[in-house]
Structure 1
């Protein structure tokens, strides 16, 4: 018995590992299917009677599949991974520079959240605006990565998407507190 995965030689590239095109816009159901197929193939129970080497390799492949899946499933992580593959470090910890218009929008959202924390219709309306901004940013990231191959721009957009996602969670919490 030997451990077989979709493409073990491609374990240094998550897209190849799952047999996907290396791009930002991916078919999530195809990712899910590829992940489940690999997990089924390398499940530790299948190697319970195998050698120590087979068991260790199966565990390593299962761990790699989990890590790769979590990275590609999340748009921010997928985008950062693509930037990394192309030699661009988003420097999330140190680079917080954002376009002025984006920063103004963030400040406006924060002020509105503070001022309307008890106004459910206003918060729900704001959530629609935040989700619309998120979708627009995802489209811009897709354009930057898949079409323009501009990974520096993509890194900036991904930093913005992180801000949007974080704010959306805070807004969701504020809405949940009222319902």
Structure 2
């Protein structure tokens, strides 16, 4: 028999939306973790410990998904039966791909922290613009537009990772 988890909130129907109140999300996450964290189940029967570990992991994954605009958008598409192609994006605009290639080259050539910081700021600004555009596309119910924009966000997320790697001292 699985343990009963006391529900600290009144359960509401949550609509699917790209827009997330991060403060409310963080509050909800912390409340759920206080209920489910495995440290609180150490002295409990094994079945309850297992329940805690599984559900705590699910809460962590859900939180990471909802907190990240890219992951959140991809999840919303997946719920609608739409997935981005793996590998090369055959639908990407050639101008956009050229811009990404140029940014990759600039990043490779960036030999100073200032240039890397400049690239990081530019990428963050682009991600902010794309996030807002994706939000508007979801608000309109235009899932194909959201898909195209999320594919672009994926490219910029890869660039963000490269910037982070470049900033790590060798």
Q: TM-score, normalised by structure 2?
A: 0.79
The Cα offsets for residues 42-89 of structure 1, whole Å up to 9 and x where unpaired, read as: 233444555554444333322221221121122211111111112211
Q: How does 1:38-53 map to 2 (within 5 A)?
A: 38-48=32-42, 50-53=44-47
> Does 2:84 align with 1:90?
yes
Give, in whole Å, the separation in 2 of the partners of 1:123 and 1:63. 35
The Cα offsets for residues 85-128 of structure 1, whole Å up to 9 and x where unpaired, read as: 1221123x1451312221121122123233x4224444333333
* CA distance 1:2–1:24, shift in 2 (3 Å): same
Give, in whole Å, the separation in 1 of the partners of 2:42 and 2:167. 48
Report the aligned-residue RMSD: 2.8
1:61 to 52, 55, 61: 55
* CA distance 1:65–1:122, shift in 2 (3 Å): closer
Which residue of 1 is the match for residue 130 of structure 2? 137
Q: TM-score, normalised by structure 1?
A: 0.76
1:174 to 157, 163, 166: 166
> Does 2:147 align with 1:155?
yes
* CA distance 1:170–1:44, shift in 2 (3 Å): closer
- Segments of 4+ moved more than 6 angstroms: none
- 3-state SS, counterpart of residue 158 of structure 1: helix
